[in-house]
A = this chain, B = another copy of it.
Amino acid sequence: MATIKDVAKKAGVSISVVSRAFNNYPDINAKTREKIFEIAKELNYTPNIVAKSLSSKRQKTIGLIASGIFTENTKDTISFEILKGVYTGVQENDYELSIFLIDSFKQEQKSYAQFCRDRKIGGIIVQGIRTDDPYFHELMDTNIPCVMIDLATELDNQLIGSVTSDNFGASRELASYLLEKNHRDIVVMAGTKETYVNAERFKGTKSAFDSYGLELADEDVLYAEFSEHKAYLLAKKYLQVKRPTAFICYSDLMAYGVMKAVKEKGLRVPDDISVVGFDDLMVSDFTQPRLTTIRQDFFEMGKQSALLVQQMMEKKEGTKQKVVNCELMERDSATGWKEHIKEEEKSNEQTEHTNDYLTRYR
């Protein structure tokens, strides 16, 4: 375990020179610097991050605070994708990552702000935490730069950034997709009303309806709080009185619930009712039928968050709101309304071919 001292001694300079060399200070003789690096390599020396973090003025560690990871549906692997993205972005510029996973069940939650102080965390990324979380507000009141994933920020706070999917655009595209296919009796299985992503998606849906001169009736908008089971129950109830031609769901999980309700009603997806989702979870490529949905690039969102928070930590200028594009994954759970009836009549045999193989290579 070589320390900075060893390097300094062997190089015949003082430790402060070594330190400066390693931190890319400009005021070091090129030769000295070179020699130092040489010796460092020889001695297999790398700066101790802990000591560095303790003594240094500027923080180099980023905190990722994620909630709901333990309680969330196991089909839901979004947090992992985000984590991978964050890790990638953090590592790219030699920052350190410290993760803090919140379990909303456990009582003994610790203050996020304290978590940061104790670890000398200089910038943080929050994901999946609720805006009414008291610790969240405490955190916002610190002077630590913070980027939020999928959370709105009306506050014009220079210390707060955000990264989200293009919820509006994607949602608009999704609704348009159905509208183009002549669906007119559409019900929206929304998530949690107060939520930022929900609001954005709803705007997108409405915007698409607007373009067609259509309106969304209140009774055709259901709120299932992003829960598979609640969506199932709501859809089931709805189908007892009405028969729409399509469901737009604001999450894949809810789409699964809806599909279940539709099937239990003795109806077919998509022949009788089309169902589309939002997220593109892994499982959506394996449902029966495969779910047409919006793919969110969670990895990219994580990575962008890391990059953004670094930018803020380094006090560089730049936009503090990043939007990541989505992609419509056209699969088998939605079909044209009316047209498909004709199609079905003329070609019965073709259809069997499509659903057969589950395993596909991308």
Contact = CB atoms under 8 A, between A and B. Distances in A.
A83 B361 CA distance: 27
Nearest to A289: B358
A324 interface: no
Interface stretch (A112-120, A127-135, A216-224): A112-120
A228 B361 CA distance: 9
Nearest to A51: B54
A50 B54 contact: yes
A229 interface: yes
A359 B99 contact: no
Nearest to A61: B50
A286 interface: yes
A84 B97 contact: no
Interface of A: 1, 44, 46-51, 53-54, 69-70, 74-75, 77, 80, 83-84, 87-88, 97-99, 101, 114, 117-120, 228-229, 232, 256-257, 259-260, 263-264, 282-283, 286-288, 355-359, 361
Contacts of A259: 358-359
A113 to B, nearest CB: 9
A150 to B, nearest CB: 19
Contacts of A359: 228, 232, 256-257, 259-260, 287
Given A48-B118, A75-B282, A358 B260 contact: yes
Contact of A282 (B282, B287, B355): B282
A1 B117 contact: yes
Contact of A44 (B114, B120, B282): B114
Question: Which residue of A47, A259, A288 has the most chain B CB atoms within 10 A of its CB atom?
Answer: A288
Contacts of A256: 358-359
Contacts of A229: 361
Nearest to A228: B359
A286 B256 CA distance: 11
A347 to B, nearest CB: 21
Nearest to A117: B1
Q: Could you say how many copies of this chain the assembly holds?
A: 2
B50 A50 contact: yes
A357 B260 contact: yes
A25 B293 CA distance: 58
Contacts of A50: 50, 53-54, 118-120
Contacts of A228: 359, 361
A46 B114 contact: yes
A69 B49 contact: no
A286 to B, nearest CB: 4
Which are the 7 A-B pairs with shortest beta-carbon distances? Answer: A286-B286, A80-B80, A260-B359, A256-B359, A49-B118, A50-B54, A50-B120
A125 to B, nearest CB: 15
A150 B260 CA distance: 38
A118 B46 contact: yes
Given A54-B50, A358-B259, A358-B288, A87 B114 contact: no
Question: Which residue of A46, A263, A359 has the most chain B CB atoms within 10 A of its CB atom?
Answer: A359
Nearest to A101: B87
B1 A49 contact: no
Contacts of A355: 288
A83 B82 CA distance: 14
B101 A99 contact: no
Contacts of A77: 77, 80, 282
